[in-house]
Structures are given as C-alpha cells and as structure tokens.
Amino acid sequence: MTDLPVLRLKPKMDPRRIRFGYPWVYDNELVLDRRTKAIPAGALAVLEDAGRTPMALVAANTGSRIVGRVLDTPEVTELDEEWFAKRLTRALALRERLHDQPFYRLVHAEADLLPGIVIDRFGDSCVVQPNAAWAERHIEMLTAALLRVTGVTHVLKSAAGRARGLEGLDDRDAVLAGEAPGAPVAVRMNGATYMADLTGGQKTGLFYDQRPNHAFAAGLARGAQVLDVFSHVGGFALAALAAGASSALAVDGSQPALDLATEGAGQSGLGDRFDTRRGDAFEVMAALAEEGEDFDLVICDPPAFAPSKQALDAGLRAYERVARLAAPLVRPGGYLALCSCSHAADLDRFRMASIRGIGRGLYRTGRTAQLIHTGFAGADHPVHPQLAESGYLKALFFRL
C-alpha cells in the first residue's frame, strides 16, 4: 500500500499505450475530480487504469496539458538521491562512449528517463533546465546526484524556455552548486573553438545538437565562400572555416552572439576569414541578393518557428520564406542547408515547405535541386522511441 495520491484513466481510455512505454498522460485521458486537482504541482502519484490496477509512478501537474509524466514502475513510491544517481549514471555511460571530452548533452529529458529535464555539460560545469514541475520540486536531490556522478563542481539552472511557462514555473536562473563562470567557456568541436556563455546566452549557452550537421556541412565547405544565417555563436561558419572554407559570413540578430562567434574565430585562428553582419535574417538575405552577393554554401538554422501545433501553419510559411530567400544566394552547383528545431513541424512537412521555398526562389532560372542528405541531432540527443517530439531537429542539405 502507498499513501501517494492516485491519477486514474477514464473508463474508455486504452491503457496499452502507457504499458508499452509512452511517457505522458494528458488531461483529457484522466478522471480529474476535485481531489486530483488538489494534488500539488510536481508531486508524485500512482497512475491507475480504469480498473484501479496500478500502472506507473508518475509526476503530476493538473495545471498542465501533460498531467502525468511517467517516472518508474508503481512499486517505486519515493525518489531519493540514489534514484537520480542511477539515471544519471546510465546517461553518462552513453556520453562517455560517444565523446572523449566532457562537452555534450548529458540528459535529454524523456529519452534519458528523466522527463522534462535537460542537462548540458561544459567540462566541470553543468547547466540544468528543469522544464517540469517535478524536476523543480526535486532540484536539490538532482543537483547532489549530478555532482556525485559526474564530478563537476559547478551546476547552474537555466529557467529559459517556453516549456517552464506551460508548467507554471518561473523564469529565474540560479546557481545550484559552485559558482557561475566569470567568462564564456571555450568548447572544441569539429576543429573549431566555440565560446559558450553559460549565464547570458541562449538556452544552456551552446547548441550541441547540431554537431554532426556542422561536420557534414564542413565536408562541403573546402575552398568555399560560406553564408551562415541565424548563426548564433558561429555554429556552421566556424566548422566550415576549420575545414578549409575560404571565407564565412555569420548573420544573426544578436550582437552578443556575434561577438562570441568572433571571439571563437579568433581563438580558432580563423579570424582573418570570418566576418559578421547583424540584422534581421530575412532583411539581410534580401539585401545580399540586391547587392548581387552569392555563396558556395548557405546554411539557415533559424529558431523554432513552429513550437506548437497552433503555430504550425505560420511556422511552415516562415520556413518556406527562409528557403525562398536563401536559394538565390547559392551559386550554381553550390549547396543549401535548411534546418528546423520545431517539433511540431515533422520531417515531411518541413521538407515540403523547404522544397516549395526553393522552387519559388529559383523560379524562372531553370535551376534544379537535389536533396543529398538529411541530418538529425547528435547521438547525445537520443530519441524516445514513442515520443516523436524528442526527435525535433531536422537538417536538409540540397545541391542547387
């Protein structure tokens, strides 16, 4: 017996999806009476089927669309530091197999059996994004286990991101252990040095997910003139220069991000071939076309234009517009890479929007396109087999 509160499936809900491993239970699948609505956000509960058979230990948040997040079997009735340590040890084993240096995504939420939790590692520092109420509620246990398992000395909390708002959480960052670094952290990837601002940058400070796509683009970049749009801290541009690109222009709306990109180029010994241009990406691409500029390799890696199903149609139009403006900037025989980190826009929808945009951008030129490669996030961003949202990143490489 347990004193934990109970969440129960409605009589007509098929329990097999949960039994077969789906990690979320939605509000419209549950009996939500006055008693269940009184469960504190982030508290543990037992999920039962309609026949009152226990199915799973879940984290409850009746104020969220996702009311239950599956944590463990129903025999587990409490969480402690050791519980977190076992999950973190499992996650660490994969990353140490993949990478010989401690710079990677350590925890990728549901796919690492820690729903709603993202942790990126930067040497002796970790940045945690507790994007679910249960993670915020257990943050001290998580931090203690993280220090013990990884040996890091600094743990920071990033409260940025749309997901926390959906869970009713605040947007206040914090230092959970050690201290915040006084300067950006240098991260070596694909032959270049990137500068990660762990306290003032976007999300955790660096986007590890694009690492394999940076590498593929770099393989196309030898001797090329490169345009990296929505560049952030120089992701594609610096990898291309390290692989032998003749020049790279990074475009972004954030001057601090471009300053970090410039610093990274300097530390990589690539500063003489690197330039930046601050401005709205759509406006800059239109201006480059008017100026008669073109490039051997153009990469566009925008933010999530379709972060939800409600934003899908507008997001797909935005991706199509990116492709339409970018395609004419590619020299004949050159390459165009288009990326999306919107989980609401699946691969097929994103591919069709991109192809439509390329067609519009190259209309009346007689040019054709070949899709030569489809890339995804690196293996340190594993995909939960039953949760399509965990495979959010897509990268399409075209030869025009």
Active-site residues, by number, are 341
Q: Return the DSSP state at 40.
A: P
Angle made by CA atoms 306, 307, 311, in degrees to the nearest 5: 50
- Give all strands (DSSP E) within 262-393, no chain letters: 274-278, 295-300, 330-340, 370-375
Report d(CA 276, CA 274) in Å as an integer.
7
335: left (phi over 0), alpha (psi -120 to 50) or beta: beta
Residue 90: other Cβ atoms inside 10 A: 14
Please report which helix (H) or strand (E) contains residue 88, including its range.
helix 81-98
Handedness of CA 195, 198, 202, 208 (dihedral sign): positive
Report d(CA 375, CA 236) in Å as an integer.
14
The long-range contacts involving 177-186, CB below 8 angstroms and separated by at least 24 positions, are: 177/143, 177/147, 177/153, 178/125, 178/152, 178/153, 178/154, 179/154, 180/154, 180/156, 181/125, 181/154, 184/260, 184/263, 185/122, 185/123, 185/125, 186/264, 186/267
Full DSSP string of 167-217: TT-----EEEES---SSPEEEEETTEEEEE-TTTSSTTSS-GGGHHHHHHH
Calculate helix-pair angle for 81-98, 139-150, nearest 10 degrees.
40
8 A C-beta contact, residue 177 and residue 154: yes
Full DSSP string of 97-119: HH-SSSEEEEEEGGGGT-TTEEE
Report d(CA 169, CA 155) in Å as an integer.
19
CA-nearest of 288, 295, 287, 278 to 217 is 295
What tokens does 121 get? 């590692």
